[in-house]
Amino acid sequence: MGELAVEKHVKYILTIEKEKDNFESAVIEHIRLNGAYWGLTTLDILGKLNTVDQDEVVSWLMECQHESGGFGGNIGHDPHLLFTLSAIQVLALFDKIDALDIDKVSNYIAGLQNEDGSFSGDMWGEIDTRFSYIAICSLALLNCLDKIDVDKAVKYIVSCKNLDGGFGCTPGGESHAGQIFCCVGALAITGSLHHVDKDLLGWWLCERQVKSGGLNGRPEKLPDVCYSWWVLTSLIMIDRAHWIDKQKLIRFILDSQDKENGGISDRPEDAVDVYHTYFGVAGLSLLEYPGLKAIDPAYALPVDVVNRIFVCR
Protein backbone atom coordinates (compact mmCIF):
# COMPACT_ATOMS: atom_id res chain seq x y z
CA MET A 1 0.00 0.00 0.00
CA GLY A 2 2.73 2.50 0.90
CA GLU A 3 2.19 6.09 1.95
CA LEU A 4 0.75 9.16 0.29
CA ALA A 5 3.40 10.57 -2.06
CA VAL A 6 2.78 14.20 -1.07
CA GLU A 7 5.77 15.84 -2.76
CA LYS A 8 5.20 13.88 -5.98
CA HIS A 9 1.57 14.98 -6.10
CA VAL A 10 2.49 18.61 -5.47
CA LYS A 11 5.04 18.49 -8.29
CA TYR A 12 2.49 16.85 -10.61
CA ILE A 13 -0.13 19.54 -9.97
CA LEU A 14 2.34 22.41 -10.38
CA THR A 15 3.61 20.86 -13.61
CA ILE A 16 0.22 20.52 -15.28
CA GLU A 17 -0.65 24.06 -14.16
CA LYS A 18 2.40 25.48 -15.91
CA GLU A 19 2.49 23.32 -19.04
CA LYS A 20 -0.21 24.64 -21.36
CA ASP A 21 0.77 22.69 -24.50
CA ASN A 22 0.61 19.06 -23.39
CA PHE A 23 -2.27 16.64 -24.01
CA GLU A 24 -3.81 16.82 -20.55
CA SER A 25 -3.86 20.60 -20.62
CA ALA A 26 -5.41 20.63 -24.09
CA VAL A 27 -8.27 18.28 -23.24
CA ILE A 28 -9.33 20.29 -20.18
CA GLU A 29 -8.89 23.70 -21.83
CA HIS A 30 -12.66 24.28 -21.82
CA ILE A 31 -12.99 23.38 -18.09
CA ARG A 32 -9.72 24.87 -16.88
CA LEU A 33 -11.46 26.73 -14.04
CA ASN A 34 -12.71 23.41 -12.66
CA GLY A 35 -9.17 22.06 -13.03
CA ALA A 36 -7.84 25.03 -11.07
CA TYR A 37 -10.25 24.26 -8.24
CA TRP A 38 -9.27 20.58 -8.19
CA GLY A 39 -5.55 21.28 -8.23
CA LEU A 40 -5.51 24.21 -5.81
CA THR A 41 -7.79 22.51 -3.29
CA THR A 42 -5.53 19.46 -3.41
CA LEU A 43 -2.54 21.67 -2.68
CA ASP A 44 -4.37 23.28 0.24
CA ILE A 45 -5.33 19.92 1.75
CA LEU A 46 -1.67 18.92 1.44
CA GLY A 47 -0.62 22.17 3.13
CA LYS A 48 1.13 23.42 -0.03
CA LEU A 49 -1.10 26.22 -1.32
CA ASN A 50 1.78 28.65 -0.83
CA THR A 51 3.59 27.03 -3.77
CA VAL A 52 1.42 28.94 -6.28
CA ASP A 53 1.28 32.62 -7.19
CA GLN A 54 -2.18 33.54 -5.92
CA ASP A 55 -2.19 36.97 -7.59
CA GLU A 56 -1.54 35.35 -10.96
CA VAL A 57 -4.30 32.81 -10.40
CA VAL A 58 -6.84 35.42 -9.25
CA SER A 59 -6.01 37.70 -12.18
CA TRP A 60 -6.59 34.87 -14.68
CA LEU A 61 -9.73 33.73 -12.88
CA MET A 62 -11.34 37.16 -13.01
CA GLU A 63 -10.75 37.24 -16.77
CA CYS A 64 -13.02 34.18 -16.99
CA GLN A 65 -15.99 36.20 -15.73
CA HIS A 66 -18.72 37.06 -18.22
CA GLU A 67 -20.59 40.35 -18.24
CA SER A 68 -23.63 38.43 -16.95
CA GLY A 69 -21.81 37.82 -13.68
CA GLY A 70 -21.22 34.12 -14.27
CA PHE A 71 -17.90 32.47 -15.04
CA GLY A 72 -16.79 30.40 -18.01
CA GLY A 73 -14.42 27.46 -17.92
CA ASN A 74 -11.65 29.59 -19.38
CA ILE A 75 -11.12 33.05 -20.81
CA GLY A 76 -13.63 33.73 -23.57
CA HIS A 77 -15.85 30.75 -22.77
CA ASP A 78 -19.58 30.93 -22.04
CA PRO A 79 -20.69 31.24 -18.39
CA HIS A 80 -22.14 28.28 -16.53
CA LEU A 81 -22.99 27.45 -12.92
CA LEU A 82 -20.36 24.68 -12.95
CA PHE A 83 -17.53 27.16 -13.40
CA THR A 84 -19.09 29.87 -11.27
CA LEU A 85 -18.94 27.69 -8.16
CA SER A 86 -15.33 26.75 -8.91
CA ALA A 87 -14.46 30.44 -9.20
CA ILE A 88 -16.04 31.19 -5.82
CA GLN A 89 -14.29 28.22 -4.23
CA VAL A 90 -10.87 29.18 -5.59
CA LEU A 91 -11.30 32.75 -4.35
CA ALA A 92 -12.37 31.34 -0.98
CA LEU A 93 -9.14 29.33 -0.78
CA PHE A 94 -7.17 32.57 -1.16
CA ASP A 95 -9.52 34.59 1.08
CA LYS A 96 -10.30 36.76 -1.94
CA ILE A 97 -14.11 36.50 -2.24
CA ASP A 98 -14.20 40.28 -1.85
CA ALA A 99 -12.67 40.49 -5.35
CA LEU A 100 -16.16 39.65 -6.63
CA ASP A 101 -19.07 41.94 -7.29
CA ILE A 102 -21.22 39.73 -5.07
CA ASP A 103 -24.53 41.21 -6.18
CA LYS A 104 -23.67 40.63 -9.82
CA VAL A 105 -22.59 37.03 -9.31
CA SER A 106 -25.46 36.14 -6.97
CA ASN A 107 -28.02 37.70 -9.31
CA TYR A 108 -26.65 35.58 -12.16
CA ILE A 109 -27.06 32.43 -10.07
CA ALA A 110 -30.50 33.34 -8.69
CA GLY A 111 -31.69 34.17 -12.20
CA LEU A 112 -31.25 30.52 -13.20
CA GLN A 113 -33.87 29.22 -10.75
CA ASN A 114 -36.98 27.89 -12.48
CA GLU A 115 -40.59 28.13 -11.37
CA ASP A 116 -40.59 24.57 -9.99
CA GLY A 117 -37.56 25.34 -7.81
CA SER A 118 -35.01 23.58 -10.04
CA PHE A 119 -32.00 25.32 -11.58
CA SER A 120 -30.76 25.52 -15.13
CA GLY A 121 -27.01 25.29 -15.60
CA ASP A 122 -26.90 28.21 -18.00
CA MET A 123 -29.03 30.20 -20.43
CA TRP A 124 -29.70 27.10 -22.55
CA GLY A 125 -31.86 25.53 -19.87
CA GLU A 126 -30.46 22.09 -18.98
CA ILE A 127 -31.89 21.07 -15.59
CA ASP A 128 -30.04 18.79 -13.18
CA THR A 129 -29.80 18.41 -9.41
CA ARG A 130 -26.09 19.14 -9.81
CA PHE A 131 -27.11 22.70 -10.57
CA SER A 132 -29.37 22.85 -7.53
CA TYR A 133 -26.40 21.98 -5.32
CA ILE A 134 -24.10 24.39 -7.13
CA ALA A 135 -26.52 27.29 -6.82
CA ILE A 136 -27.23 26.62 -3.14
CA CYS A 137 -23.57 26.10 -2.24
CA SER A 138 -22.47 29.20 -4.18
CA LEU A 139 -25.10 31.45 -2.67
CA ALA A 140 -24.43 30.14 0.84
CA LEU A 141 -20.73 30.96 0.44
CA LEU A 142 -21.71 34.45 -0.75
CA ASN A 143 -24.28 34.86 2.05
CA CYS A 144 -27.02 35.35 -0.54
CA LEU A 145 -29.37 32.39 -0.10
CA ASP A 146 -32.18 34.87 0.43
CA LYS A 147 -32.07 35.66 -3.29
CA ILE A 148 -33.70 32.34 -4.19
CA ASP A 149 -36.81 30.46 -3.11
CA VAL A 150 -35.08 27.93 -0.84
CA ASP A 151 -38.31 26.08 0.00
CA LYS A 152 -39.03 25.48 -3.68
CA ALA A 153 -35.42 24.44 -4.29
CA VAL A 154 -35.64 21.88 -1.49
CA LYS A 155 -39.02 20.62 -2.70
CA TYR A 156 -37.60 20.03 -6.17
CA ILE A 157 -34.62 18.10 -4.78
CA VAL A 158 -36.91 15.95 -2.65
CA SER A 159 -38.99 15.21 -5.76
CA CYS A 160 -35.87 13.54 -7.21
CA LYS A 161 -35.68 11.02 -4.34
CA ASN A 162 -36.12 7.38 -5.32
CA LEU A 163 -37.57 4.28 -3.63
CA ASP A 164 -34.03 3.03 -2.88
CA GLY A 165 -33.33 6.16 -0.85
CA GLY A 166 -31.05 7.68 -3.48
CA PHE A 167 -31.49 10.67 -5.76
CA GLY A 168 -31.37 11.18 -9.52
CA CYS A 169 -30.61 14.13 -11.77
CA THR A 170 -34.31 14.83 -12.34
CA PRO A 171 -37.54 13.29 -10.96
CA GLY A 172 -37.55 9.59 -11.85
CA GLY A 173 -33.86 9.58 -12.76
CA GLU A 174 -31.66 6.66 -11.68
CA SER A 175 -29.97 6.94 -8.30
CA HIS A 176 -26.28 7.78 -8.72
CA ALA A 177 -23.65 8.54 -6.09
CA GLY A 178 -22.70 11.85 -7.72
CA GLN A 179 -26.28 13.05 -7.75
CA ILE A 180 -26.76 11.82 -4.20
CA PHE A 181 -23.85 13.98 -3.03
CA CYS A 182 -25.38 16.99 -4.77
CA CYS A 183 -28.82 16.43 -3.24
CA VAL A 184 -27.63 15.52 0.24
CA GLY A 185 -25.13 18.40 0.19
CA ALA A 186 -27.80 20.89 -0.80
CA LEU A 187 -30.17 19.55 1.85
CA ALA A 188 -27.40 19.75 4.45
CA ILE A 189 -26.59 23.37 3.61
CA THR A 190 -30.26 24.34 3.80
CA GLY A 191 -30.88 22.44 7.05
CA SER A 192 -33.21 19.98 5.33
CA LEU A 193 -31.64 16.57 5.97
CA HIS A 194 -34.84 15.42 7.66
CA HIS A 195 -36.09 14.67 4.14
CA VAL A 196 -33.48 11.89 3.81
CA ASP A 197 -34.17 8.30 4.90
CA LYS A 198 -30.71 7.93 6.42
CA ASP A 199 -30.77 4.17 6.99
CA LEU A 200 -32.14 3.38 3.53
CA LEU A 201 -29.74 5.74 1.77
CA GLY A 202 -26.87 4.61 3.98
CA TRP A 203 -27.51 1.02 2.96
CA TRP A 204 -27.49 1.95 -0.75
CA LEU A 205 -24.26 3.93 -0.34
CA CYS A 206 -22.37 1.34 1.69
CA GLU A 207 -23.30 -1.26 -0.95
CA ARG A 208 -21.11 0.73 -3.34
CA GLN A 209 -17.96 -0.71 -1.72
CA VAL A 210 -16.53 -3.63 -3.70
CA LYS A 211 -13.99 -6.34 -2.78
CA SER A 212 -10.97 -4.17 -3.65
CA GLY A 213 -12.12 -1.61 -1.08
CA GLY A 214 -12.97 0.99 -3.71
CA LEU A 215 -16.40 2.49 -4.23
CA ASN A 216 -18.52 2.60 -7.37
CA GLY A 217 -21.22 5.08 -8.35
CA ARG A 218 -24.06 2.64 -8.93
CA PRO A 219 -24.63 -1.13 -8.94
CA GLU A 220 -22.47 -3.39 -11.14
CA LYS A 221 -19.96 -0.65 -12.03
CA LEU A 222 -16.21 -0.66 -11.53
CA PRO A 223 -14.76 1.11 -8.48
CA ASP A 224 -13.39 4.59 -9.05
CA VAL A 225 -11.30 6.80 -6.76
CA CYS A 226 -13.62 9.77 -7.36
CA TYR A 227 -16.41 7.96 -5.49
CA SER A 228 -14.22 8.11 -2.41
CA TRP A 229 -15.62 11.65 -2.37
CA TRP A 230 -19.14 11.30 -3.78
CA VAL A 231 -20.08 8.33 -1.58
CA LEU A 232 -18.11 9.06 1.56
CA THR A 233 -19.26 12.68 1.88
CA SER A 234 -22.88 11.61 1.73
CA LEU A 235 -22.29 8.88 4.32
CA ILE A 236 -20.63 11.44 6.60
CA MET A 237 -23.46 13.95 6.20
CA ILE A 238 -26.03 11.31 7.20
CA ASP A 239 -23.82 9.83 9.96
CA ARG A 240 -23.36 6.43 8.33
CA ALA A 241 -19.65 6.48 7.37
CA HIS A 242 -18.95 3.69 9.87
CA TRP A 243 -20.88 1.32 7.61
CA ILE A 244 -17.94 0.91 5.19
CA ASP A 245 -14.43 -0.52 5.62
CA LYS A 246 -12.37 2.66 5.78
CA GLN A 247 -8.98 0.94 5.84
CA LYS A 248 -9.72 -0.96 2.63
CA LEU A 249 -10.78 2.30 0.97
CA ILE A 250 -7.56 4.01 2.08
CA ARG A 251 -5.57 1.13 0.60
CA PHE A 252 -7.49 1.38 -2.70
CA ILE A 253 -6.77 5.13 -3.00
CA LEU A 254 -3.06 4.77 -2.14
CA ASP A 255 -2.70 1.89 -4.60
CA SER A 256 -4.04 4.21 -7.34
CA GLN A 257 -1.12 6.63 -7.00
CA ASP A 258 1.64 7.10 -9.56
CA LYS A 259 4.47 6.92 -7.04
CA GLU A 260 7.13 7.91 -9.58
CA ASN A 261 5.59 10.94 -11.30
CA GLY A 262 2.75 11.91 -8.97
CA GLY A 263 -0.98 12.05 -9.45
CA ILE A 264 -3.80 9.60 -8.70
CA SER A 265 -5.83 7.61 -11.22
CA ASP A 266 -9.37 6.26 -11.18
CA ARG A 267 -8.09 2.81 -10.14
CA PRO A 268 -4.70 1.08 -9.81
CA GLU A 269 -2.49 0.99 -12.92
CA ASP A 270 -4.53 3.54 -14.91
CA ALA A 271 -3.37 6.96 -16.11
CA VAL A 272 -3.50 9.79 -13.57
CA ASP A 273 -5.32 13.11 -13.93
CA VAL A 274 -5.96 16.17 -11.76
CA TYR A 275 -9.64 15.27 -11.22
CA HIS A 276 -8.89 11.92 -9.57
CA THR A 277 -5.87 13.37 -7.77
CA TYR A 278 -8.16 15.86 -6.04
CA PHE A 279 -10.87 13.36 -5.18
CA GLY A 280 -8.31 10.82 -3.98
CA VAL A 281 -6.61 13.30 -1.65
CA ALA A 282 -9.98 14.73 -0.53
CA GLY A 283 -11.20 11.20 0.17
CA LEU A 284 -8.13 10.53 2.30
CA SER A 285 -8.82 13.76 4.17
CA LEU A 286 -12.35 12.57 4.92
CA LEU A 287 -10.82 9.30 6.12
CA GLU A 288 -8.59 11.31 8.51
CA TYR A 289 -5.36 10.25 6.83
CA PRO A 290 -2.41 11.68 8.82
CA GLY A 291 -0.97 15.05 7.79
CA LEU A 292 -3.91 16.27 5.71
CA LYS A 293 -6.12 19.27 6.38
CA ALA A 294 -9.75 18.43 7.13
CA ILE A 295 -12.25 19.11 4.34
CA ASP A 296 -15.91 20.03 4.73
CA PRO A 297 -18.14 17.37 3.09
CA ALA A 298 -20.91 19.79 2.11
CA TYR A 299 -18.95 22.80 0.83
CA ALA A 300 -16.02 20.82 -0.66
CA LEU A 301 -13.52 23.25 0.84
CA PRO A 302 -11.02 22.84 3.69
CA VAL A 303 -12.73 23.25 7.07
CA ASP A 304 -10.55 26.22 7.99
CA VAL A 305 -11.62 28.02 4.80
CA VAL A 306 -15.30 27.38 5.51
CA ASN A 307 -14.90 28.53 9.10
CA ARG A 308 -13.16 31.69 7.94
CA ILE A 309 -16.07 32.52 5.63
CA PHE A 310 -18.84 31.96 8.14
CA VAL A 311 -17.09 33.11 11.32
CA CYS A 312 -16.04 36.40 9.73
CA ARG A 313 -19.62 37.40 8.85
pLDDT in tens, the chain (313 residues): 579 999 999 999 999 877 766 666 666 788 899 999 999 999 999 999 999 999 999 999 999 999 999 999 999 999 999 999 999 999 999 999 999 999 999 999 999 999 999 999 999 999 999 999 999 999 999 999 999 999 999 999 999 999 999 999 999 999 999 999 999 999 999 999 999 999 999 999 999 999 999 999 999 999 999 999 999 999 999 999 999 999 999 999 999 999 999 999 999 999 999 999 999 999 999 999 999 999 999 999 999 999 999 987 6
Single-letter amino acid code for the residue at 58:
V
By CB atoms closer than 10 A (0-12, 13-18, 19+), residue 39 is buried
H runs (alpha helix) in the chain: 6-18, 23-27, 32-45, 54-63, 81-93, 102-110, 129-141, 150-159, 177-189, 198-206, 227-237, 246-255, 274-286, 303-311
DSSP 49-98: GGGS-HHHHHHHHHHTB-TTS-BBSSTTPPB-HHHHHHHHHHHHHTT-GG
Neighbouring-strand partners of residue 209 = 215
37/47 Cα distance (integer angstroms): 15
